[in-house]
Amino acid sequence: MAEKVKKQKGAITLSNGQVIVPKRKSTWQYMVQHKWLYFLLLPGFIYFIMFRYIPMGGLVIAFKEYSPFKGIWGSPWVGFGQFQKFFSNNDFLKLLTNTLGISLLQLVFYFPAPIILSLFLNEVRHNGYKRVVQTLVYIPHFVSWVIVASLTYQLFNVTDGVFNVIFRAISGGQTFDILQKSSTFWGLIVGQDIWRETGYGTIVFLAALSGVDQELYEAARVDGAGRWRLMWHITLPAIRGTIVMMLIMRVGSILNTGYEQIFLMRNDLNLARAEVFDTYIYTKGIRSGMYSFSSAAGMFKSVVGMIMVLTADRVAKAFGESGLY
């Protein structure tokens, strides 16, 4: 009769009490064995080293009064002087308010949109219709922000925009100025995000939904569960880990509202609500030549993002989720 074996912390204990410890391969032997996998990893590794990690050395100018004529190492050190100047600037509170305002609206309205759309698409049983709808909702993601801004102006222009033409005919000559009012700017930005990115964001959640065990649905239907109960008690718990992971990543980018979109949509009349960290860094760094000051502002964003990711990850683990790390 074959001896029964069981594993205990990497060792194998036979039924007669003999313990056999298998030889572990060294790291080099493991890499040689899987050399082709590491070879496939090499292009991505080189990309991140060259374009992500090496440029991080330039952050040293955030602690200097950088001058292009003196170079990075020839420029004088100022320590945290650039950060003090940034935090004491009158624009800091405005930038923080605008950035957090847009990010929180995106978190409340944009983040759930792909989840809801994924749940609805998952309920569609006709595969042909489902593929057509998926294709249609994916397309806006591949439209440039320049085109999105142009479409927005065509729709909401006060003079001849489609929306105002219809509104003028209904209201008897009145117009609604969305583009030039600062009070509507945040909602306009979030609305563009929802229209452009919701469909593409469903890819991750639909992939997670494809792994849900169908026997769970069958068992629940036998017990009399309807579609809403199936969605609430089976579908959502099955993709909870994916939702938490995407939420952690979203929280980490809370100070990143995007540069191109806001830069294209802002004007002199809505500038009070349209100036965010990304556009401010561009204005000060590229247009005004304040390289050290803008580097300090960018480094502040990165540090806050890292802290938010780590904090959200710890909170997720405290509630029993796996998190990112």
What's the confidence (pLDDT) of residue 148? 94
CA–CA dist 325, 313 (Å, integer):
7
Per residue in 122-155, pLDDT (tens digit) is 888 888 888 999 999 999 999 999 999 999 999 8
- Domains along the chain? 82-318 (1.10.3720.10)
Task: Round the CA-based radius of gyration of the chain to a whole number and report it.
Answer: 27
More confident residue, 172 or 81: 81
Give long-range contacts, CB 8 A cutoff, 24+ apart: 25-31.
none
pLDDT at 52: 86
Q: What is the mean pLDDT of the chain?
A: 86
Where residue 118 falls among pLDDT bands split at 50, 70, 90?
Answer: very high
Q: Is the pLDDT of residue 299 over 50?
A: yes
Provide the pLDDT for residue 196.
Answer: 94
pLDDT exceeds cutoff 50 at 30: yes
Buried b (16+ CB within 10 A) or exposed e, 26-47: eeeeeeeeeeeeeeeeeeeeee
User: Is the distance from CB of 188 to CB of 152 less than 8 angstroms?
Assistant: yes
Q: Is the pLDDT of residue 15 over 80?
A: no
Q: What is the pLDDT of residues 237-249, one digit of tens each?
A: 888 888 998 999 8
> What pLDDT shows up at residue 185?
92
- What pLDDT score does 106 carry? 93
The stretch 258-279 carries a mean pLDDT of 90
Query: Does position 6 have pLDDT exceeding 50, yes or no?
Result: no
The secondary element (H helix, E strand) that includes residue 230 is: helix 227-230
pLDDT value of position 13? 64
Cβ neighbours of residue 292 closer than 8 Å, sequence gap 6 or more: 61, 62, 63, 64, 65, 66, 75, 78, 82
Average pLDDT (22-32) is 78
* 50 or 5, greater pLDDT: 50
- Percent of the chain whose predicted confidence (pLDDT) is above 70: 93
Q: Point out the least confidently predicted range of 163-177, 248-262, 299-313.
A: 163-177
Q: Tell me the per-residue pLDDT of 175-204, one tens digit each, with 9 for 90 and over.
A: 778 888 888 999 999 999 999 999 999 999
The pTM for the full model equals 0.82
